[in-house]
Structure 1
Amino acid sequence: MAMNRQGSARGKGDGVQPVRKRKKINWLVLLAWLVALGLLAGAALFAAVLVYFNQQLPDFRQITEYKPALITRVFDRNGEILAEYANERRVWVPFSEIPKPVVQAFLAAEDSGFFEHGGYDLKAIVRAALVNVMTDRTQGASTITQQVAKTYLLSNERTFTRKIKELILSWRIERAFTKNEILELYLNRIYLGNGAYGVAAAAETYFNKTLAELDLGERAMIAGMPQAPSRYNPVKNPSAAKARRDIVIRRMESERFIDNAEADAAVAAPLVLNVSTLKQGEDAPHFAEFIRRLIAERYGEDALYQDGLSVYTTIDLPTQRLAEQAVYEGLRTFDRRRGWRGPLAKIKDMAQWKEQLAEIAEKYAHSSRLGEAAVVLKVSGKDGVRVGLADGREGSIAPESAKWTGKGLNSLVKMGDVVVVKASQIDKDNGKFTLEQLPQVQGALVAIDVASGEVVAMVGGLGEGEGFNRAVQAKRQVGSAFKPFVFTAALENNYTPASTVLDAPVVFKTGEKEWKPRNYDDTIGGLITLRDGLAKSRNLMTVRLAQDVGMRNVADVARRMGVSDRVPITDLSVALGTLDLGLMEMVGAYAVYPRGGEYVPPVYLRRVQDAQGVTLLRATPACEGCLAQLGAKPTEPPPVPPSSGSRALSPQVAYQMVSMMEGVVESGTAYSLKKLGVPLAGKTGTTNDFIDAWFVGFSPDIAVGVWVGYDTPRSLGTGETGAKAALPIWQQFMAGVVKNQPSGDFRVPSGIEFARIDADSGLLPGVNSKRFVTEAFVAGTVPTDVTPDMVDDPTGSFGGGGAGGGIDNLLKSFGIY
């Protein structure tokens, strides 16, 4: 066998082999296989992605457990919002209560195919991807369902993995919730700028309206905000907000939610805002802060700011506004009596006055309700005084508003002076201001509903409520306002209102120290009745009375009436009010008298509910239906003792004190109250050196107390008594109260007998009696003796006549002289 050149062996019959034909490739089949393999690979990849992300996805059922941070609202007794507390403004509204036009506005703006897709819109995703790749613009494609998934379950990071998770969760959400449920989740959680979360909160924030009150343009503006809440914020960017609003309106037209005429009218309308912030208790700042602390202590800060509590208080805002105004005007009047103190500060560089004024104004921000800091820009005889404010406003001070200073306006200030001004009520819109002065003195007022013990008004001082609340936190000497407790103890220990006590000098010794009390006017009255002694606030007879009755009994009366249990039982000066007490406890104690002797602790809350309406706290009424019972007939006995109260005094003693304290109004230190023309009773209080001024009193329906003084104790000024400094505030407030709520008469319990007696002797009238009074006695205690004839004693030894004459002889008979 021969080998060829390549070394191949040739066999028998070797020759050239025929060439085989190659088979044609079936490209269609190959393509089909490739597609199939691609689909399989894609499916496998998709499955792998699902498995991978499924392990990282949050449980979408967490949505059902979502607990939104809601606004806690504090209401007055009439349901008016007093204050709101929240970390973010959010109001949750069930879908059934969201008006259909609001829903349509959001569908047009955000997801017109919402009711057709299954959670995501592939066409929108592709379109957005092309826009993002081919242009510099960024376009979103998220459906409402995707936004729900992102808002409730994911973060705001802009990553591919987050988008995948969002799509998967959207698909699941669509199968677990109805479309309406998804819309409810969306419309209540979406952020809409200015701290507002959800459509209801946005309606309140921008327009101060409910959802049902929004018009077409307002709905469209809110619906246009989710894409960019900051960019379309109507407060900061009104033009951008309007442009976006108009786009939404046209989309609503294209979706046939509205017709062309409606759209044209809405687009042509201006964008008008009525911005509303969370109410901070502006009408009752100290009470609102008091309640805020009370709720925070009881339920915790988290509950207060996140749980959406509804807190129904006892405060009555119309009455509260009367109280705030009375305190402000009363302290303003007092401060003006003390004179003009000069400007607050001086701006040296007038080129920078706005910046410097802003810094000064910030220091006095807590007093913004009383006036605003302004700098004097110009002083001229022709134009008067021109001022500028930190916010850029300018105006002039009305010359007549400076009359209280006793000087001409132009002589009071110079250019650069910083003064306090207030927009004139007469010409508020044209830059007219009045010259003011921030009072340095402080004051407080408390008003309690007699029947229920509910606090209906509380003023803790001038300025904002975050600081010291003088109505409940301050303890100050009460002066003669303490005397009713002494007289009450006397009535419980065999005295009557007609009993006479010697009003004459007395000396008390404690070791080597001597105490010599004296009357305010340094006069002596001789023998005077308890009624006259209380009405004229006689110190000497009060101390003698306390000594005879015993301070232990006085302290016991005060304790039963809710006043401090720390009343000393050996210090007779306490009878004249040297003890430090709070305004709230004083008013609560005085309310015992018109309530028929029952003590009820002050009540601040009526009801507290959680966001679901479950009642967490309900105050037990002190006396269910008390007002109706008390108002029946003047001669009927007081109502059944309140369930939450305690018997402090007998109804008879309580009424005797009411009658005697009416004498303070009829002929005593509160005589000016007579002009109100309604039954009133009370007691003034003034401490040594005129440091504290008080008036505490009541009508048949309301007990009210007023305190005036400086936070750091110092004299209010000579003659600034309770009748001069505190009573005018009480009177102005009560004038408004009785005008709005006419009062009946004080209720008289059974067991009381009335008798006409001699007002000086306290005995039955004699032939020469000059003054008479119809006195209230406990049955069986009416005097039987008749006032003796005193024809040879024209000065009247039985009191009321001042020093000299018959009183001198009387004092000698007692061994005083």
Structure 2
Amino acid sequence: MDFTKKGAVKAQKELVSKLPRNRRKLNISVFKIILVLVLAIVIVGVGAGFGALKGILDDTPNINADALIPKGYKTTLVYQNGKEITTLANSNSNREYVYYDSIPEDLVNAFVAIEDRRFWEHNGIDVQGIARAFIKGLKSGDFDEGASTLTQQLIKNNVFNVGLNESTFLDKLERKVQEQYLAVDMEKKIDKKSIVEYYLNTIYLGEGCYGVETAAKTYFGKGLSQLSVSECAVLAAIPQNPTKYDPLLSPDDNKTRRTQVLKYMLDLEYITQAQYDEAINDNVYKRIASVSKKEEKQQKTEVNSYYTDEVIKQLQNDLVAKGYSEDEAESLIWSGGLKVIVCQDPEIQEIADSVVNDTSYWPEPVYQLNYALTLADKETKVQTNYSVENLESWFTEQEGYDYSARYYSEDDARAAADEFRDAMVAETGDEVFMETFKLVIQPQVSFTLMDQNTGQVKALVGGRGEKTENRSFNRATEATRQPGSCFKIVATYLPALDACNMSLATVYDDAPYYYENGNQVFNWYGGYWGPKTIRYAIMESMNIIAVKCITDVTPQLAYDYLLKLGFTTLVERKTDSDGLILSDINQSLALGGLTNGITNLEITAAYATIANGGNYIKPVFYSEVYDHEGNLLIDNREPEKTRVISEQTAWLLTSAMHDVVTGGTGSGANSYTGMYTAGKTGTTSGDFDNWFCGYNPYYTASIWLGNDENITYSPGSIKCYMWRDIMDQVIEKKGLDTSATFEMPDGIVQATVCSDTGLLPSNGCPTVTDYFDASKIPTKYCPGVKKVVVCNESHMLANKECPETTTFIYKLNDDGEYVLEGYTWDESLLKEHCNIHGKKKDTKKTTKATTTTEDTSEDTTEDTTTEEPTTTEEPTTEEPTSEEPTSSTEITTTEEPSSDDSTDTTQ
């Protein structure tokens, strides 16, 4: 420092100078300004923060407690004894809900320990956890460390779609804030146990498992109540990263986190040291792998049965009928958590499956190829599709004969498909884009068995051979086949007896007969047996009598009855693409000649109507459906019954069809057990369709045999044997009372009538005794019968030398005149004897010898209910046998079905 005078003066000047003073003032002012600005920024920032926070909270979804309940549950199908059949679930509904009281305490503790250790103390937000995660983030620079509580995770899953809608950090920040806000709010409204319950039923636990119950069954093959501490820890280790900690795919990673779970449980005193040691040393992953292999093996064959497919189909239709849309019904089935009580009887189903797949019943199998090929242009990628029809056409051209894609081995089929594929590739230069190769065994089968008293379908077979696809073609419910003579009962004789004052003793003359369009009706046995009762016509499946009868009944009335019996595939009237008018309301309806055919299920239900005393019940595949909350949604336990025919008509038809199996065309179906059985055979033109429909006092069943395509298959009585063997095994398995029968209703009496006319007999009449509806016993007496024997070749009066003859009957018409029934040639020919076979004889003498008139007087009616029906006179022509022919004749009419199966000629 300068202490001289000069220095002192200089110092004095600086003290009084304004410059330093102003500089200091400036610095102070700048500091104040900066301070104010900082404070302003802070204030503005805080305000903006509060504003942003308010905006975020204002956008928070307005939810209630129900929003936290998990959605999407698998539907369970169970037998009526409660045993599970299968489950139905889409990709995010493989969940079985379990309530808190059924969740093991160890499992709850395991999840709380690893996911939210202060869960029971906090109010929805874990402040300590948030602070810990923030500090850890400062140290590591990674702020992804989670601090979400179970409540927040639940909200994230069920309200914010697991965060999948977030694309930026701000989106995630906004969701986090709203999540925390809602967590605090929800914990004011929901108790802690409910939150745990919702959470454990919500979380995804790998392998398609939603919720702990499904995961326990998937990984350990058992329910929650059986889980050990070690197994609980395995499940608790998964949620943080279901892929990384999947105990099946990444057992080592899961093991590491499981150890952490167990340590936390020990620290929190949820388990003892001994439990910890035992769990740590548990080789749980070996058990998981073992269960997984078993599950994998089962899943490879886990294709729904034909029955289950039909349950799904009926459930869909019933839900739509209740007002749900198609999409809503589909969603309810696959993610609504329904419980469906199925009517299927597993023991009966096993018997049916076993019999229809028994190779001893079948000829050498043939395999029908279902083939599709798609080729794509290598440059343009334009695709060309080829079907099995293209394959058949190509081989037909190559081989020079009609080629059918039917093979005796898979190797032959594969070789043919490869040859066709390679030829198309070579021809076009395209490359293979897709190829479908599938073989279906032929001939095929369908079978339906119902409890006629309840309408419940107990067994269903949609085809033989391995079923490889869900919702595949079901021959029992979807295949429309021609029913043949099975239809005679429901289309002809049922309305005849119920509404047309006819009886089983009503007589029709089995003689040459023609449809209204001029086409002739043929019997399967190729000849004519003269006057026969309806009972006899049913027993021997006589075509001409059936057509004559439906003509009297009228096809329209027959059609109306068929609709009441539940048939939905019949055609009232339509015009096809060629302008041809098609209708099932015609005479060929009597023989099952239909436009589209019928399904096995529907004809079974029709026969079940007869077995059920005349009451129709629509077939049902499940008795009850409960929603996820346990409320009854659909109730089929008491299905609606519709009276279609009288119980007297039903009993009479049953009596007639009992004759079919005891001495007629269906004798192969007669039960070895002695159980009372009734039924009817049916075989169509070309032997394309082979049926037996029948019942006993407990069950009604129908079996169909044939090829999927209309290719001849003649199994003879095999259809009856298969039907009988199934029913006999069911009788034995179920311990059914073989003495059971169909109780005769009031109003049934026995009476004797003329076997040539069906009228009350006069003196000298051949007679037959049968059962009648008391209100339909004939009141007129037979006036006498005139018969004439005609040579089939000359159409003149027959000689003894004539090799083939037919007896024609003169019947008394309403005008009191005798009319020759069935004779279509010039009646003047009957004035002379056959001039082809043997010598000519005097016309007058011959006529007198071959034509008889029987004048009869009144007789009384026998009335008894104890004797079985008997026939006192049989025809002298060749008697029918129960064998079925191998040839057929097709009948077509102008306004009748154009189906190849329009005439039944084999019974």
Q: TM-score if structure 2 supplies the norm length?
A: 0.63
- Partner SS, residue 609 of structure 2: coil
Whether the 8 Å CA contact 1:684–1:694 is kept in 2: the answer is: yes
Partner of 2:309: 286
Tell me, what secondary structure is at the counterpart of 2:724? helix
SS class of match (2:589): helix
Greater gyration radius = 2
Render the CA deviation track for 1:264-313: whole Å, top value 9, x for unaligned: 44432433244569986447343134135325644232454356252535
Identify which of 219, 238, 255 aligns with 1:206.
219
Query: Do 1:444 and 1:708's aligned partners in 2 also have CA atoms closer than 8 Å?
Result: yes
Matched, 1:471 2:485: no
Matching of residue 218 in structure 1 with residue 262 in structure 2? no
Q: Does 1:496 align with 2:509?
A: no
What is the CA distance between 1:658 and its match in structure 2?
Answer: 0.7
Residue in structure 2 matched with residue 55 of structure 1 by the alignment: 55
Q: How does 1:78-97 map to 2 (within 5 A)?
A: 78-79=81-82, 80-88=84-92, 89-97=94-102
Q: What corresponds to 1:734 in structure 2?
A: 727
2:320 and 2:693 mapped to 1: Cα distance? 30
Asked if 1:236 is matched to 2:249, the reply is: yes
Residue among 523, 527, 532 paired with 1:528? 532
Say whether 1:668 aligns with 2:664: yes
Matches within 5 A, 1:323-362: 325-326=353-354, 328-329=356-357, 337-339=363-365
| 1:242 shift after superposition | 4.3
Number of equivalent positions: 666
- Equivalent of 1:195, from 204, 208, 229? 208
**TM-aligned CA deviation for residue 100 of structure 1:** 2.0
RMSD value, Cα: 4.8
Contact 2:338 2:625 (8 Å CA) reproduced: yes
Q: Find the counterpart in structure 1 of residue 119 from structure 2.
A: 114
Q: Report the CA distance between 1:248 and its aligned residue.
A: 3.0
Match of 2:592 in 1: 577
Post-superposition Cα deviations, 1:343-365, rounded to whole Å, max 9, x if no partner, equal 999xxxxxxxxxxxxxxxxx9xx
Could you say which residue in structure 2 is the equivalent of 1:392?
Answer: none
Amino acid aligned to 1:179? K
Cα deviation, residue 152, structure 1:
3.5
* Partner of residue 190 from structure 2, selected from 167, 172, 177: 177
Aligned mates of 2:40, 2:120 — CA distance in 1: 32
Cα distance 1:438–1:165, how it changes in 2: closer, same or farther (>3 A)?
A: same
Deviation at 1:50, TM superposition (A): 5.2
CA distance in 1, matches of 2:584, 2:190: 73
Q: Alignment partner of 2:122: what SS?
A: coil
Matched-pair contact (CA < 8 Å) for 2:310–2:621 = no
Determine which of 438, 441, 445 is the counterpart of 1:439: 441
Query: Relative to 1, partners in 2 of residues 1:50 and 1:619: Cα closer, same or farther, differing over 3 Å?
Result: farther
Q: Aligned in 2, Cα 1:45/1:151: closer, same or farther, shift over 3 Å? A: farther
- Say if 1:83 and 1:280, in contact at 8 Å, map to a contact too: no
Matches within 5 A, 1:418-567: 438-461=440-463, 463=467, 464-485=469-490, 486-492=492-498, 493-508=500-515, 510=517, 513-519=518-524, 521-563=525-567, 566=571
Structure 2 counterpart of 1:186? 199
Task: State the one-letter code of the partner of 2:730.
Answer: V
1:104 match: secondary structure: helix
Matched to 1:596, the amino acid is G
Following superposition, the deviation at residue 671 of structure 1 comes to 1.8
Give SS of 1:106's match. Answer: helix
Q: What's 1:779 paired with?
A: 774
Structure 1 residue aligned with 2:73:
70
Contact 1:231–1:237 at 8 Å: present in 2 too?
yes
Aligned residue type for 1:602:
P
Q: 2-side partners of 1:41 and 1:731: how far apart? A: 95
Q: Which moved more, 1:220-229 or 1:167-176?
A: 167-176
| Alpha-carbon distance in 2 for matches of 1:124, 1:555 | 78
In the alignment, structure 2 segments of 5+ residues that lack a partner are: 1-7, 17-34, 372-386, 388-407, 418-437, 573-582, 785-799, 811-819, 824-833, 835-907
Residue 762 of structure 1 and its aligned partner are, at CA, apart by 9.0
Paired amino acid for 1:72:
T
Residue 271 of structure 2 aligns to a residue in which SS? Answer: coil
- State the secondary structure of the residue aligned to 2:485: helix
Alpha carbons of 1:489 and 1:178: their partners in 2 closer, same or farther (altered >3 Å)?
Answer: closer
Q: How does 1:786-805 map to 2 (within 5 A)?
A: none
1:340, distance to aligned residue in structure 2 (A): 5.8
| TM-score, normalised with respect to structure 1 | 0.69
TM-fit CA distance, 1:250 = 4.4
Counting aligned pairs with the same residue, the percent is 28
Aligned-residue offset at 1:647: 2.1
Q: CA deviation at 1:437?
A: 8.0
Alignment-derived partner of residue 751 in structure 1: 747
SS at match of 1:55: helix
How many Å separate the matches in 1 of 2:313 and 2:213?
A: 28
User: Aligned equivalents of 1:813 and 1:174: distance in 2?
Assistant: 96
Please list the CA deviations of residues 726-779 of structure 1 after superposition, one character each: whole Å capped at 9, or x if unmatched: 4344334323432343153222211123579999999999xx999x99853323
- Measure the CA separation in 2 of the matches of 1:536 and 1:577: 16
Q: Please state whether the residue corresponding to 2:693 is helix, strand or coil.
A: strand
Q: How does 1:755-770 map to 2 (within 5 A)?
A: none
Q: Secondary structure at the match of 1:501?
A: strand
Mark the CA change 1:418 to 1:187 in structure 2 (over 3 Å): closer, same or farther: farther
Change (3 A) 1:117 1:710: same
**Structure 2 contact 311–622 (Cα < 8 Å) conserved:** no
Distance 1:532 1:668 in 2: 9
Q: Which of 696, 699, 709 pairs up with 1:712?
A: 709
Query: Whole-Å Cα distance in 2 between the matches of residues 783 and 528 of structure 1?
Result: 16
CA distance, structure 1, for counterparts of residue 146 and residue 50 of structure 2: 23
Q: CA–CA distance in 2 between the matches of 1:262 and 1:62?
A: 40
> Which residue number corresponds to residue 827 of structure 2?
none
The structural deviation recorded for 1:188 is: 1.9
Any idea what the Cα deviations from partners look like across 1:343-394, whole Å, max 9, x if unmatched? 999xxxxxxxxxxxxxxxxx9xxxxxxxxxxxxxxxxxxxxxxxxxxxxxxx
User: Could you tell which deviates more after superposition, 120-129 or 582-591?
Assistant: 120-129
- Cα distance in 1 for partners of 2:39, 2:115 equals 33
Distance 1:205 1:763 in 2: 74
Whole-Å separation in 2 of the counterparts to 1:570 and 1:458:
30
